[in-house]
Amino acid sequence: MKRVEIVIQEIEKHLELLDYEAEKINNLEIDKMDTFDYEHLMILDAYIFRFIKLQSAMGEKLFPIIFEMLTGKFYTEVSFIDILNTLEKYGFLESGDYWNTIRKLRNEFVHIYPWETDLKVEAIKMALENQEKIKDIFKRIKDYVSERNLQQS
């Protein structure tokens, strides 16, 4: 159980910092800006970095652990889509396709060149729009882990 608790703590920190960066971005009013100075780009990049870290922590660490808790199988025995389908079946995800959309967004961030500011802003807007949904997914999983720990005590 220690492993899942450490991953939950990591994700909580990513979410805390993501909220902080999102607030800074909202104060910038990026829709109204036609140029960005280095300080603004650093804020955008900090948000992107944190979003990537959050998505990776959930998809590569938390989801496999929860899959194992739910099924008793090792996550290495199945494909990632099977993990997503299981999380969907148990109500943690609306759909596996939704998380694949988040993965694609993460990949877009990785492949945007520094001078592609318009693409960066559009991807950030999409991430901001999905931030609450991601937090809801995490909350459902965290509540499940907490309930399970209480039942085992």
Q: pLDDT confidence of 139, banded at 50, 70, 90?
A: very high
Cβ proximity of 53 and 14 under 8 Å: yes
* Structure token digits, residue 83: 């993990």
**For the chain, which residues make up each domain, given as ranges?**
2-152
Cβ proximity of 66 and 51 under 8 Å: no
> Quick count: other Cβ atoms within 10 Å of Cβ 138?
20
pTM beyond cutoff 0.85: yes
Least confident of 30-39, 81-90, 106-115: 30-39
Angle between the N-to-C axes of helices 117-152 and 63-71, in degrees from 0 to 180, rounded to the nearest 10: 30
Q: What's the confidence (pLDDT) of residue 129?
A: 94
Q: What's the confidence (pLDDT) of residue 143?
A: 96
Task: Give residue-wise pLDDT tens across range 13-42.
Answer: 999 999 999 999 988 877 666 666 788 888
Higher per-residue pLDDT: 37 or 101: 101
- Percent of the chain past pLDDT 70, that is, above it, reads 92
Class of residue 67 by CB neighbours under 10 A (exposed 0-12, middle 13-18, buried 19+): buried
Q: What's the confidence (pLDDT) of residue 111?
A: 87
Q: What's the confidence (pLDDT) of residue 18?
A: 96
For residues 83 and 96, what is the distance between their CA atoms, to the nearest angstrom?
Answer: 9
143 vs 66, 73, 76, CA distance in Å? 12, 21, 25
Cβ proximity of 65 and 7 under 8 Å: yes
Task: Give residue-wise pLDDT tens across range 67-82.
Answer: 999 999 999 999 999 9
DSSP structure class, residue 60: I
